[in-house]
Structure 1
Amino acid sequence: MSGPYARTAPQPDPRTPDPRTPGTGAPHEAADDPARALLARLDGLRGRVSALVEQRAAGDPTADDPLRGLYLSEEAVRHLLTTWGALTDDGTAHGTGTGTGTGTGTGTGRAVGGEHAPGDRLARLAGRADLTPLDVAVLLAALAPDVDRTFEPLYGYLNDDVSRRRATVGLALDLCGVPAQSAAARARLHARAPLAALGLLEVAEPERPFLTRSLRVPDRLTGHLLGDDTPDAALIGLLRPMPAPLPADAAAEPFALRLAALLESGPATVYLREQREGDGLAAYAAALRAADLEGLCCAEPGGHVAELLREARLSGRALVVPELPEAPGPLLRALAAAPDVTVLLADPRPYDPHWFPEDPLVLEAPGRRDGGTAAWRAALGGDADGFDLAAAVAPYRLGGDRVRRAARAARALAAFEGGPDGPLTAAHVRRAARRQSASGLESHTRRIRPAVDWGDLVLPEGPLGQLRELALRARHRDRVLGDWRLSAGGGRGRGVLGLFAGESGTGKTLSAEVVAADLGLDLYVVQLSSVVDKYVGETEKNLERIFTEADRTDAVLLFDEADAVFGKRSEVKGAHDRYANMESSYLLQRLESFEGIALLTTNLRANIDEAFTRRLDLVVDFPFPDAGQRLALWRHGLAHVPSADGIDAAPLARDFELAGGSIRSAVVTAAYLAAGRGGEVTADDLLEGARREYRKAGRLVPGEGRW
């Protein structure tokens, strides 16, 4: 910027208050105005520049040479100095700027610029970054031309080259009153010294002799010292806003308070291992709010670590990295080189000591339990009063601001379906919450979005009650296993595991879909063809990917025809038996630590290893339907099908012993026959459908040609 002291600037209106003059009501009069504080420091620097110009002119035999510096005449320099003096109240520059540096690199007395003014950001930065008075003086000399253009020609004169209008190393040391031969003073400009290492000053033009190298101050630092808090342009697209903390549950709130106390005590480096994506960021947001601090959040720093650390240092914020790259070592080592900045890291991976030269504080991020009802209620407000919110969100363990995003999505769904004033329902909340879950399972599974309910099941009371209990366990596992301390220990997870056993077509897969629908979750069916591998160890790797992703996803995992991977271990008679037993042993161990909901189906319960059944929460036996249940299944299948009047399915239920899946197939066959002729389903269509199911099974058709 040109500044108020530029020779080319228009003369100010006498009625316009001088921004440097106290008591005029000017914008810079505010007690904490950073620009005014910086201008006050530059007033002191002017005095030192004036003195140095006088000294050079007095003893320079070429001072009158019109080509000196190609060229800046003595008259022009005198004019600049006169202009500076006229801009002060008493005709002289504010402060003498004597800069009594001792040559030791620390300086004594007043550094260039005089006393600290209110709102002096440079003073605060010096305190946070542990800068010496000499560092501050050099920094001020380097940034002066970026704040006030009238320094440029004078720096050109002092550099003996009017084209070099920035401070050089030699000129900065001269302005600070430090001998150019002082090793300690020169060391303050080395790459590992605070000014360069912290990204506050660049010593440019390395090909030049040291004393003639230019000093450059990043534009971001200059803007900050003038009161501009716009982030560095290099960080555009990398920064994300810190989420506003939602109410924490009973487990997370004490953790946030302890973490806040740590952050208040000074710079710290913390690594939170999170179970679910967003748990770490949510914990940091709550802790920062409790400590009355701000966070600078960047998910993918890439090659901009220096800019991020500088931004955090200038703003006094904690640097929050909620996602680490696949190989985090280089990033973390770069962050560890800034002990003056609080660095908060989060990742689902366990901490590896090779990542850091010195270990950070490693903690487990608390997850939201029982769905985080308090957080949901805060996000939804009064819109959630029309239904049982706790029951609706119990199956979900969304972390971070996923709850807030799901709440916005739920409101949008309600407005789309019911108009601007449409009521928010539990169904809207569940649909929105499902969309916030990760979908990494789909590489090895098939997703089913349930479209059924309990009314679609035709089962005896025993199995039906067990299925409802399974959904109940999924909702209240955190309370029973966590709050009531009924976990078996030994590192076991809080997963819910169930086995559905019964003949083909008895409703095992449909029941899994109903349970998922009741919980408001998607059902993921494991594709065994993409899991089982002939190469040793590959099956376990594929299963581990599925279990790891299922732990992080709000979903129900279904192993259909589980005999293939959960079968009995056998006596080892060869290499094949040994490796097959290893797969079973791995699964036994992995089920112990599983945190999600997994259901297994089998046509023959005896095929499942007893060690698996001991680890299951429920084993539900699906009996073959009797005549009464078969009649209910026929009627349920025909509920939405246009049928001829007077159809009686009782003879079909009595004469054809079909499971529920076969009855549905028979109804589908009858429906196609009716659709083909453009009419309604008749008794003959149903009979033909039932007969085809018998023939498919290779069974003798009862009453062939008579019924």
Structure 2
Amino acid sequence: MKLQPYTSGFEHWSDELRKLDLMIAFKLQCKIELEGDENPLDPMRGLLITDDEVMRLLRTNGKAGSNGELPPTLAGMQDEIAELNEVIAERLSLAVESTAGWQSALMRLVKRFKLNRFEQEVIVMALAPEYNRKYEKLYGYLQDDVTSKLPTVDLALRLLCDNESERYAARSSFQAEQPLQRWLLAADEGDATSTLARPLRLDGRIVSFLLEAERSDGRLEGWVSRFEGGVNGDGESEDDGKGEELQPLLIGASKQGEMRRFAELHLEAGKPAVLHLYGAGGSGKQLHAKHLAASLNRPLLLLQGDSLEAERMKTVTVLHQLFREAKLTDSIVGIAGGDHFMAPDGKLTMYRTVIEQWIRRSGGLLLWLSRERAHYSELPVPSRSVIYQVELTPPTIEEQRMLWRIWGEESAAASESAEAMADKFRLSPGQINRAVLEAKRLAEHEGADYTEEVHFERGAAVQLNHELEKKAKKLNPRYTFEDLILPHEHLDLLRQACNMMKYRRDVYGTWGFDRKLSYGKGLSMMFAGPPGTGKTMAAEVAANELGLEAYKIDLSQVISKYIGETEKNLHDIFKEAQRTNAILFFDESDALFGKRSEVKDAHDKYANVETAYLLQKMEEYEGVSILATNFQQNIDDAFLRRINIVVKFPFPDAEHREKLWRTMFPAATPLASDVDFAALAARIEVAGGNIKNIVLTAAFMAAAAGRPVGMRELVASARQELKKTGKILVNSEWDSFF
């Protein structure tokens, strides 16, 4: 009869358990023939399970639809065991060679954990009670202990080995460093009186794998995500099925090829290696990890490092389960949030040793994902292993346009609206993807025919949550160019500055300037002028015009007396602003960006270091930075050379003061007929900030008196404002107002 390949795990296990029954029967028959038929075992056994019941259980050999008898002789049993071994091996081989290429769970387990023949048989013995409870009775009978329902090390050695020499050699399989004990058997609870008495219970995940009852370890849910073909266990893909289109865009084709060759080389050779992907949040690290694994035709198990607990035993257990699952399912392990393991004062640094041991023992490939580049000593790398580091840099303006267009492609109008976002926002690939998804949800919620620009703007704004507010105050832009009273040439300069951001897509992208410049692609402006001339208002106007968030830097939170602390604060500010494309507004910046002084002592030396550091960060920053100063002469010349636009805010003359007086009053404010804006502008020489204070105080005076705002209130308020600066308003013709 021609043998057929196995087509299911049930068929294979039926034959394996039939063979186990024959082996048990053979050992019993040997004992009977050696010791005689008359009660060869402890008579107490018969009170619980009779010899006849044992034979009945063994005749139920697990083969579908078979109740065949056991061979009557030892020789017959040996022949059938040998024949069944050949049948199992042949049918497994045929299954692998078949078109479907099916391989049993047991054989996959043996191959992936490199088990020998004895260890394979131990797995079958340990699984048997999970498959059929009759083996609990059989093992109790064989071990002369009805409470011992699981096989022990002693029983495995007696049943599977032919002599003492084989048993002596086989004991090494139960040592802690061996795969059987380390990965497959459940942890010893410590009740066994000796190694021989130790029960052999398979870990629950191994049972579910062998019986094909669970696709992945459910205990890892919440810590680990499984991706196969770039898609997770729920059938969702972060790149919305456009990974092949995005790969050449997100990282150079040459680097992609190098990453894959590196992975293939070390996977094939079984050498320990770490592929380290680092870059800002949302730069595509997880996307690259998913598609690298998919290109290697391997599942990816991605651990979220920040989800782990500081509690040692739980974290070690999760890591152990993760690495075993990787071997079990032939997956690649990725650890996202690797910074949590790298920080010297982090709670998870101790677990780098656990990860390092896994790489050393398994010779596996580990994908390490972090925001920051790591030193060799910070990575969980055993000696003689290899590291390949790949930096994911922020996309260029042109690349951002392509990302918005690819993900926002819904209609021609939607694609055009999405593409325009690259001019307004400096987002990473992950942020762009999430912004588009949010925009589409908003459009669907509002019942729009397609996603409009306003939806994309709102979706992008959601991605700009950051931590700048710890060291800065967020401005709430309300002003437009119509509210800003400045000479035309100064307004033109400010409009020109805004256009440098609006049209950066064309200049840096389409026209190719991005490839010519390695830094200095941001917009830096200086607003110089006396207090109250509109510098802060101009910053809000720019933010409103560009549709970006603006933050006023709190210098008290930046400058520190401790060496190096100021630079650290500035680094954090620029780094966070770069991630979110925020406008940085340094008010009274001459206190921070002052002229570098001659070095006379250590204080001068470190002050100059801080200034030089700021020069560097200003040039590197690709967003908008605005420096406001009351005294331009105090600004270091080196800064001025690196400023794109310098807007001088002159003290307003009478003409501009009159405009300021008129624009300060909202349309709903009741004004008395005696208000003379021209006279106020001519006789009260103050800047816009002072005019705002005068108008607001006068409005409260009038409201308290129950009458419209008139000259009486305005003159009285002006006198109060001037007194603050030591000036006195002297004009006899206004005395009639009091």
* Aligned 8 A contact 1:169 1:210 in 2: yes
Distance 1:336 1:468 in 2: 57
Query: Are the equivalent residues in 2 in contact too, given 1:271–1:361 (CA < 8 A)?
Result: yes
- Compute the displacement of 1:98 (Å): 8.1
**Alignment partner of 2:60: what SS?**
helix
More deviation in 344-353 or 232-241? 232-241
CA contact (8 A) 1:170 1:212 kept: yes
8 Å contact from structure 1 (residues 554, 596) kept in 2: yes
- 1:245-278 CA-to-partner distances (Å, cap 9, x unmatched) read 2553735363556545655666363111113345
Q: Secondary structure at the match of 1:321?
A: strand
| 2:370 corresponds to 1:347 | yes
**Counterpart AA for 2:151:** A
Task: Name the residue aligned to 1:67.
Answer: 44
Give the drift of 1:309.
1.3
Partner letter of residue 74 of structure 1? D
* Change in CA separation of 1:509 and 1:569 when aligned onto 2, cut-off 3 Å: same
Question: Structure 1 pair 86/447, CA: closer, same or farther in 2 (3 Å)?
Answer: closer
Q: Structure 2 CA distance, aligned partners of 1:34 and 1:596?
A: 60
The whole-number CA distance in structure 1 between the counterparts of 2:505 and 2:191 is 62
1:510-589 matches, cutoff 5 A: 510-589=537-616
SS in 2 for 1:210: coil
Q: Tell me the alpha carbon deviations over residues 579-623 of structure 1, each in whole angstroms, 9 at most, x when there is no partner.
A: 322322333344444454432211111111122223333333223
Report the Cα distance in structure 2 between the residues aligned to 1:453 and 1:98, rounded to whole angstroms.
Answer: 93
Letter in 2 for 1:435: V
Q: How many angstroms apart in 2 are the aligned matches of 1:624 and 1:270?
A: 59
2:285 corresponds to which of 253, 274, 280: 280
Match of 1:187 in 2: 172
- Does 2:424 match 1:385? no
Checking the alignment, whether the CA contact within 8 Å between 2:282 and 2:430 is kept in structure 1 is: no
Q: Sort the Cα spacing of 1:250 and 1:415 in 2 relative to 1 into closer, same or farther, 3 A.
A: closer
CA deviation map 1:498-520 (0-9, x unaligned): 32222212222222223333333
Structure 2 vs 1, CA of residues 565 and 266 (structure 1 numbering), >3 Å: closer, same or farther? Answer: same
Q: Give the distance between the partners of 1:169 and 1:97, measured in 2 at CA.
A: 26
Given the alignment of the two structures, is residue 132 of structure 1 paired with residue 146 of structure 2, yes or no?
A: no
- 1:654 Cα shift? 3.6
Q: List gaps (5 residues or longer) in structure 2.
A: 72-76, 96-101, 227-231, 268-272, 309-314
Query: Contact (CA 8 Å) 2:359, 2:365: kept in 1 or not?
Result: no
Q: CA deviation at 1:320?
A: 2.2
Mapped contact 2:284–2:430 kept (Cα < 8 A): no
Contact 2:319/2:355 (8 A) holds in 1: no
Instruction: Tell me the CA shift for residue 75 of structure 1.
Output: 1.9
Cross-structure match for 1:309 = 323
Structure with the higher helix share, 1 or 2: 2
| Map of 2:724 onto structure 1 | 696
The answer to whether residue 663 in structure 2 is matched with residue 633 in structure 1 is no
Query: What is aligned with 2:202?
Result: 217
RMSD: 3.8
Tell me the amino acid that sits aligned with residue 209 of structure 1.
S
| Structure-2 change in CA distance of 1:58 and 1:595 (3 Å) | farther
In 1: Cα distance, 2:62 partner to 2:249 partner: 66
In 2, Cα distance between equivalents of 1:98 and 1:463: 100
Distance in structure 1 (CA, Å) of the matches to 2:184 and 2:62 = 34
Whether 1:45 aligns to 2:36 is no
Helix, strand or coil at the partner of 1:215: coil
Q: Kindly state the Cα deviation for residue 347 of structure 1 after the two structures are TM-superposed.
A: 0.7
* Distance change >3 Å, CA 466–CA 291, structure 1 → 2: farther
User: Post-superposition shift, 1:185?
Assistant: 2.9
Q: Quick one: which amino acid aligns to residue 466 of structure 1?
A: L
1:151 and 2:151 matched: no
Partner of 2:687: 659
Which residue of the partner structure matches residue 410 of structure 1? 439
Q: Deviations over 1:42-98 (max 9, x none)?
A: 343333233233334443565354313974321221120122278554726899798
Where does residue 115 of structure 1 map in the other structure?
92
Q: 1:672 aligns with which of 700, 717, 727?
A: 700
The letter for the 2-side match of 1:533 is: S
User: Which residue identity lines up with residue 434 of structure 1 in the other structure?
Assistant: A
Distance 2:387 2:156 in 1: 39
Query: Is the alpha carbon distance of 1:644 and 1:50 closer, same or farther for their aligned partners in structure 2, counting shifts above 3 Å?
Result: same
Corresponding residue of 1:77: 54
Conserved? CA contact 1:111–1:137, under 8 Å: no
- In structure 1, the residue corresponding to 2:671 is in which secondary structure? coil
Give the aligned partner of residue 323 of structure 1. 337
Contact 1:257 1:290 in 2 (8 A): no
TM-score w.r.t. the length of structure 1 is 0.83
* Structure 1 residue 346, shift from structure 2 partner: 1.0
Q: Does the CA-based 8 Å contact 2:439-2:456 persist in structure 1? A: yes
Partner of 2:356: 333
Partner letter of residue 54 of structure 2?
V
Distance in 2 between the 1:203 and 1:178 partners? Answer: 27
* Secondary structure, counterpart of 2:544 in structure 1: helix
- Does 2:513 align with 1:484? yes
Structure 2 letter corresponding to 1:518? E
More deviation, 60-69/473-482: 473-482
Cα gap change, 1:85 to 1:654, in 2 (>3 Å): closer
Contact kept, 8 Å, 1:69 with 1:161, in 2: the verdict is no
Q: Which moved more, 1:78-87 or 1:200-209?
A: 200-209
Please state if 1:606 is matched with 2:633. Answer: yes
- Structure 1: how far apart are the matches of 2:163 and 2:503? 74
Aligned residues: 669
Q: In the alignment, residue 444 of structure 1 is paired with which amino acid?
A: K
Report if aligned partners of 2:334, 2:367 keep a CA contact under 8 Å in 1.
yes
Query: What TM-score do the two structures reach when normalised by structure 2?
Result: 0.79
Matches within 5 A, 1:221-300: 221-240=206-225, 243-245=237-239, 247=242, 248=246, 250-252=249-251, 254=253, 255-256=255-256, 259-260=259-260, 262-263=262-263, 267=267, 269-300=274-305
One-letter code of the match for 2:179? P
CA distance in 1, matches of 2:486, 2:581: 27
Check the 8 A contact 2:92/2:104 in 1, yes or no: no
Return the match for 2:466 from 419, 434, 439: 439
Counterpart secondary structure, 2:44: coil
> CA-to-partner distance for each residue in 1:123-157, whole Å, 9 max, x for gaps?
23333333334333322222221222222211222
What does the per-residue CA deviation read over 1:353-386, in whole Å, with 9 as the maximum and x for residues that have no partner?
1132234221112433337344444544437835
Q: Provide the residue aligned with 1:5 in structure 2.
A: none
**Aligned equivalents of 2:619 and 2:571: distance in 1?**
13
CA deviation profile, 1:477-503 (whole Å, cap 9, x unmatched): 6886685355555xx575443322222
Relative to structure 1, is the Cα distance of residues 401 and 548 closer, same or farther in structure 2, using a 3 angstrom cutoff? closer
Give 1:498-513 correspondences, 5 Å limit: 498-513=525-540
CA distance in 1, matches of 2:444, 2:480: 25
The answer to whether the 8 A contact 2:15-2:63 is kept is: no
Q: Which runs of 5+ in 1 are unaligned?
A: 1-21, 24-28, 101-107
Matched residue SS, 2:196 = helix
- When structure 1 is superposed on structure 2, of 544-553 and 378-387 the one drifting more is 378-387
Q: Is the 8 A contact 1:135 1:188 kept in 2?
A: yes
The AA in structure 2 aligned to 1:48 is: M
Distance in 1 of aligned mates of 2:67 and 2:692: 101
Distance change in 2, residues 1:144/1:627 (3 Å): farther
Residues 196/577 of structure 1: CA separation in 2 closer, same or farther (3 Å cut): same
Q: What amino acid does structure 1 have at the position aligned with 2:695?
A: V
Deviates more, 1:163-172 or 1:173-182: 173-182
Distance, in Å, in 2 between the alignment partners of 1:479 and 1:240 is: 40
Equivalent position amino acid for 1:539 in 2: T
Give identity over the alignment, percent: 31
Seen in structure 2, the aligned counterparts of structure 1 residues 133 and 529 have a Cα distance that, compared at 3 Å, is same
Task: Sort the Cα spacing of 1:402 and 1:594 in 2 relative to 1 into closer, same or farther, 3 A.
Answer: closer
